[in-house]
């Protein structure tokens, strides 16, 4: 089990965090001051530290420096008061993985912790770029992935803007982080933004920030993501989802290296390396008028194509073995390997969800396999594709509206998935929630609403 050290001067906060983390399968130690934390840190090196910004005996940033000096690959998440953004940025420059503001949602905290631990594990296996420019791949030896990693080593030391092209699930954010880690900016922050999840009405304030009074509800000043990434790297995932007006502002920022906050009176200079990604071909989007051509040409200083898993099948068994080891630790299992039939199924499957799908399939297979056995079945059941004509006939036969039919169908699907997750987890609600990628509060609510008690 991963070991997490919680450092906070508030004992109630430590107790609440311990309960949450232990219920999710982590080992937890707590400390109420920095010196106790550092002493415990030296005795048993944790995998991750939740570190409060303000401690009674030492500044949290100083404690972060001490801990990171002892362990360069330690994952640290800072806990900071709402609005204390400057300290959070400084923490990320000192090597913190991320920060979360109090009060926080359990789901947000759990997600950041999982990402931090996964990135810590993955960064231990990243390839090493040697002086002669060679790449030593650890997971996968296909010619395609070797080429990607060579390109990473070439472009990482430069200031060039990078476009990452690849299907969903191919690991674009991991490659972006690897470029950052291999660059002179590695001591600066790495900020990742999913442009597909930002509402158009909020995109400008999220990216460029705002001043107090800029709009209704702007009760204070907010630094945008560009300013937070100053001195480091800003990763814009699914960049083609940005509206045309935001694309125009992004182009201006890239050209002038300045941002203008909403409601602000002057421009602010920024020093940020930009990496963007998309699961569609940005060049084709630009030619079709769906993405600004001038922005595309400004971004297109260096492009890396990340191949889908089906095009590098020799990596499948290597990745599957890695994910099996990872799942054994997470699920407290001792699964020893894959049967020949399971291996053949892995190699013959098309993997539309790429590495992300492979990881989920292997984790699910490990969960369902006995503690000292090999995996014999790995692939999920693919849903039956129903023709539109058949679906319409079913709707007509029921005599209900489209809205009512959709709600009922959705509830039926949710009920079936939750029942299967509870079965696989042997009714362990925390584990079932992780399988479904929702928090426990949401799971309990759905169990009640769907009458699954």
Model confidence at 137, pLDDT cuts 50, 70, 90, reads: very low
Q: How far out from the chain centre does Cα 128 lie?
A: 23
Q: How confident is the model at residue 420 (pLDDT cuts 50, 70, 90)?
A: confident
The answer to whether the beta carbons of residues 52 and 14 sit under 8 Å apart is no
Separation of alpha carbons 132 and 52, rounded Å: 42
pLDDT band at 130 (very low <50, low <70, confident <90, very high): very low
Reported CATH class of domain 312-375: mainly alpha
Average pLDDT for the chain: 81
pLDDT of 73: 72
For domain 3-123, the CATH class is alpha beta
Give the DSSP H or E segment for 417: helix 402-424
Identify any residues that bridge with 135 across adjacent strands, giving them in sequence order.
Answer: 129
Per-residue three-class SS string for 291-317: CCHHHHHHHCCEEEECCCHHHCHHHHH
Architecture of domain 133-307: 3-Layer(aba) Sandwich (3.40)
SS3 state at 178: helix
Query: pLDDT value at position 138?
Result: 34
Q: pLDDT exceeding 70 applies to what percent of the chain?
A: 84
| pLDDT value at residue 407 | 66
CB 305: neighbour CB atoms within 10 A?
14
Higher pLDDT, 399 or 171: 171
Which of 232, 242, 146 lies closest to 187, judged by CA? 232
Cβ burial, residue 374 (10 Å; 0-12/13-18/19+) = middle
Residue 355, pLDDT above cutoff 60: yes
Q: Is the pLDDT of residue 162 over 90?
A: yes
- Give SS3 for 1: coil
Tokens of 432: 């079932």
Instruction: Assess whether pLDDT exceeds 50 at residue 172.
Output: yes
With a cut of 90, say whether residue 232 has pLDDT above it: yes
312-375 shares the fold of 133-307: no
Q: Is the pLDDT of residue 125 over 50?
A: no
| Average pLDDT score over residue span 292-301 | 91
Percent above pLDDT 90 for the chain:
16
What 8-state DSSP symbol labels residue 127? P
Q: Are strands 273-278 and 374-375 parallel, antiparallel or unpaired?
A: unpaired
pLDDT band at 228, cuts 50/70/90?
Answer: confident
Which residue would you say has higher pLDDT here, 313 or 233? 233
Q: What is the residue extent of each domain of the chain?
A: 3-123, 133-307, 312-375, 388-449
* Cβ atoms of residues 320 and 328 within 8 Å: no
Mean pLDDT of 183-193: 90
- Length, in residues, of the chain: 453
Rounded to the nearest 5°, which phi and psi values hold at 27? -85, 140
Q: What is the pLDDT of residues 65-115, one digit of tens each?
A: 888 877 777 888 988 775 566 676 677 767 787 788 777 778 878 888 887
Highest mean pLDDT, choosing among 136-140, 233-237, 396-400: 233-237
What CATH architecture is 388-449? Answer: Orthogonal Bundle (1.10)
Instruction: Give the pLDDT confidence of 18-31 residue by residue, as tens digits.
Output: 989 998 889 999 99
């Amino acid at each position: 089990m991963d070991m997490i050290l919680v450092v906070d001067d508030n004992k109630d906060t430590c107790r609440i965090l311990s309960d949450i983390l232990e219920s999710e399968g982590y080992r937890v130690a707590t400390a109420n001051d920095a010196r106790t934390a550092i002493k415990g840190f030296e005795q048993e090196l944790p995998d991750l530290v939740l570190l409060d910004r303000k401690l009674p005996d030492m500044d949290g940033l100083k404690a972060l420096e001490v801990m990171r000096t002892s362990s360069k690959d330690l994952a640290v998440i800072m806990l900071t008061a709402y609005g204390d953004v400057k300290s959070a940025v400084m923490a990320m420059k000192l090597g913190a993985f991320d920060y979360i503001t109090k009060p926080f949602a359990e789901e947000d905290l759990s997600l950041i912790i999982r990402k931090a631990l996964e990135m810590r594990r993955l960064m231990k296996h990243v390839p090493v770029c040697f002086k002669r420019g060679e790449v030593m791949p650890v997971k996968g030896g296909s010619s395609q992935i070797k080429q990607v990693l060579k390109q990473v080593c070439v472009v990482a030391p430069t200031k060039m803007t990078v476009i990452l092209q690849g299907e969903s699930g191919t690991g674009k954010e991991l490659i972006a982080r690897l470029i950052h880690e291999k660059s002179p900016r590695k001591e600066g922050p790495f900020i990742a933004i999913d442009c597909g999840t930002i509402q158009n009405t909020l995109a400008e304030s999220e990216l460029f920030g705002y001043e107090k009074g800029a709009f209704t509800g702007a009760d204070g000043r907010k630094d945008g993501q560009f300013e937070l990434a100053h001195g480091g790297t800003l990763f814009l995932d699914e960049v083609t989802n940005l509206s045309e007006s935001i694309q125009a502002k992004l182009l201006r920022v890239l050209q002038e290296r300045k941002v203008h906050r909403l409601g602000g009176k002057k421009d602010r200079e920024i020093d940020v390396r930009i990496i963007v990604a998309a699961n569609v071909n940005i060049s084709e989007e630009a030619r079709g008028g769906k993405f600004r051509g001038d922005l595309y040409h400004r971004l297109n200083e260096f492009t890396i194509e990340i191949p889908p898993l089906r095009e590098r099948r020799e990596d499948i068994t290597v990745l599957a073995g890695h994910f099996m080891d990872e799942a054994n630790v997470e699920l407290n299992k001792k699964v020893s390997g894959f049967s020949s039939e399971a291996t053949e199924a892995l190699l013959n499957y098309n993997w539309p969800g790429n590495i992300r799908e492979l990881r989920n399939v292997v984790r699910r297979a490990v969960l369902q396999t006995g503690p000292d056995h090999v995996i014999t079945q790995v692939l999920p059941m693919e849903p039956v594709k129903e023709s539109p004509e058949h679906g319409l006939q079913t709707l007509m036969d029921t005599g209900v509206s489209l809205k009512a039919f959709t709600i009922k169908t959705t509830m039926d699907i949710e009920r079936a998935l939750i029942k299967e997750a509870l079965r696989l987890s042997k009714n362990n609600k925390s584990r079932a929630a992780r399988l479904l990628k929702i928090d426990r509060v949401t799971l309990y609510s759905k169990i009640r609403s769907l009458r699954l008690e």
